[in-house]
């Protein structure tokens, strides 16, 4: 006979699986806040999300218009402020950044045009909330204008690809002009000038509605369902940093976050904020999610905005993952949890694991230089050592620098 505790545990486990929450809570932060005493929660938060300039991260008041849109359209909204120390020779450089995470709006069986239009309509009030809140730079999630169908390996999903100046960009250009806002627009791009090749691309829209430039995803996963090279290959745009009206930004798309040199290159090019628009699922990557971007922010002395989509997307035809397991029609729950990391090791609490959301963060970009001065990572990096090592490593006759103990047996591996 089951005990009451066993039944509760089973119900909680079932809840986590079916709605994407953590035992009924939208995020780890909210679970801890609801189950710990205020004093204990304060100490746990200090360890989990750090201190900004020696103090707990400062929450911001959400404007009533944005609150109303959040309530009416049922999306999570949170707002925080990253401070920097006051300087004598420089004014503060406050930039308000917004991150949007969302689920798809219609089943994947709906006509493609209807799916795309429904996503547009779903995002409109969230973008309006960002605009009403005075957001200067807004970033959407990876391939926001479509289901993340690359797990299926079916070519029909290529129909969602569009030119850099296509309808998704045009849709967002109106908001950029209306709200004087820079928008990072990650799409599935069809390059009409080069044989209609498809790329995973982020279009940078200026605050006047102009296209500043674009960046294509540098690293393409070949991990289980994420074998995206069926659709597009590694990008050819390098590591561009875009100088906008509000600061210098880079875009490290999704899988690129697993590559430290990718983060480094954006920093070497002068980025102050690097966005990581993503689409990733819990079983594969969730333990890594709060670690990688935060480490990149620390190591490179810039801010990082991490965005992940939400929900479980079920596709019409089952597919396999090349791991011997049975075929399935989805590849797991996109766990949201978008957050911002700062160069001083502090970070915001995450948005919901199972709900659309808007995260607003004020950033004093002076913090980037202050942390460079404090830790001296650039000064002590010894790049010449690694440049020499890498130049030798990429050659076919590379020999690793291994010094063996002469007393080891001859057949020792």
Catalytic residues: 142, 217, 254
- What distances in angstroms separate CA 183 from CA 18, 65, 261, one per listed residue? 33, 20, 25
Q: How would you classify the pairing of strands 197-205 and 182-191?
A: antiparallel
Measured CA to CA, the distance from residue 175 to residue 211 in angstroms comes to 13
Determine contact, residues 276/293, Cβ cutoff 8 Å. Answer: yes
CB atoms within 10 A of CB 332: 19
């Amino acid at each position: 006979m089951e005990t009451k505790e066993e039944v509760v545990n089973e119900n909680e486990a079932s809840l986590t699986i079916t709605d994407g929450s953590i035992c009924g809570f939208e995020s780890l932060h909210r679970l801890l806040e609801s189950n710990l005493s205020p004093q204990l929660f304060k100490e746990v938060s200090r360890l989990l999300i750090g201190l900004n300039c020696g103090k707990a991260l400062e929450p911001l008041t959400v404007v009533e218009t944005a609150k109303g849109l959040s309530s009416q359209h049922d999306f999570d909204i949170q707002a925080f402020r990253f401070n920097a120390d006051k300087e004598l020779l420089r004014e503060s450089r406050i930039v308000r950044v917004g991150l949007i995470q969302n689920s798809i709006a219609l089943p994947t069986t709906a006509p493609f045009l209807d799916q795309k239009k429904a996503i547009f309509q779903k995002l409109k009030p969230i973008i309006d909330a960002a605009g009403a809140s005075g957001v200067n730079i807004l970033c959407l999630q990876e391939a926001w204008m479509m289901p993340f169908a690359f797990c299926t390996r079916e070519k029909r999903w290529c129909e969602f690809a569009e030119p850099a100046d296509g309808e998704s960009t045009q849709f967002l250009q109106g908001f950029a002009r209306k709200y004087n806002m820079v928008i990072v627009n990650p799409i599935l791009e069809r390059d009409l000038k080069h044989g209609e090749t498809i790329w995973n691309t982020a279009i940078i829209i200026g605050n006047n509605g102009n296209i500043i430039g674009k960046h294509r995803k540098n690293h393409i996963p070949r991990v289980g369902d994420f074998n995206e090279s069926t659709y597009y290959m590694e990008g050819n745009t390098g590591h561009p940093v875009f100088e906008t009206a509000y600061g210098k930004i880079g875009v490290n798309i999704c899988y690129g976050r697993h590559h430290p040199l990718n983060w480094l290159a954006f920093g070497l090019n002068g980025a102050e904020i690097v966005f990581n628009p993503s689409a990733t699922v819990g079983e594969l990557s969730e333990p890594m999610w709060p670690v990688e971007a935060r480490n990149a922010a620390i190591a490179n002395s810039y801010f990082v905005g991490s965005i992940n989509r939400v929900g479980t997307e079920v596709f019409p035809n089952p597919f396999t993952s090349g791991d011997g397991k049975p075929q399935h029609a989805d590849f797991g729950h996109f766990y949201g949890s978008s957050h911002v990391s700062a160069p001083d090791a502090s970070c915001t609490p995450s948005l919901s694991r199972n709900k659309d959301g808007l995260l607003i963060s004020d950033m004093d970009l002076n913090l980037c230089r202050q942390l460079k001065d404090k830790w001296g990572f650039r000064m002590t990096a010894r790049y010449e050592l690694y440049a020499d090592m890498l130049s030798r490593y990429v050659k076919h006759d590379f020999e690793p620098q291994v010094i063996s103990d002469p007393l080891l047996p001859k057949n020792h591996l």
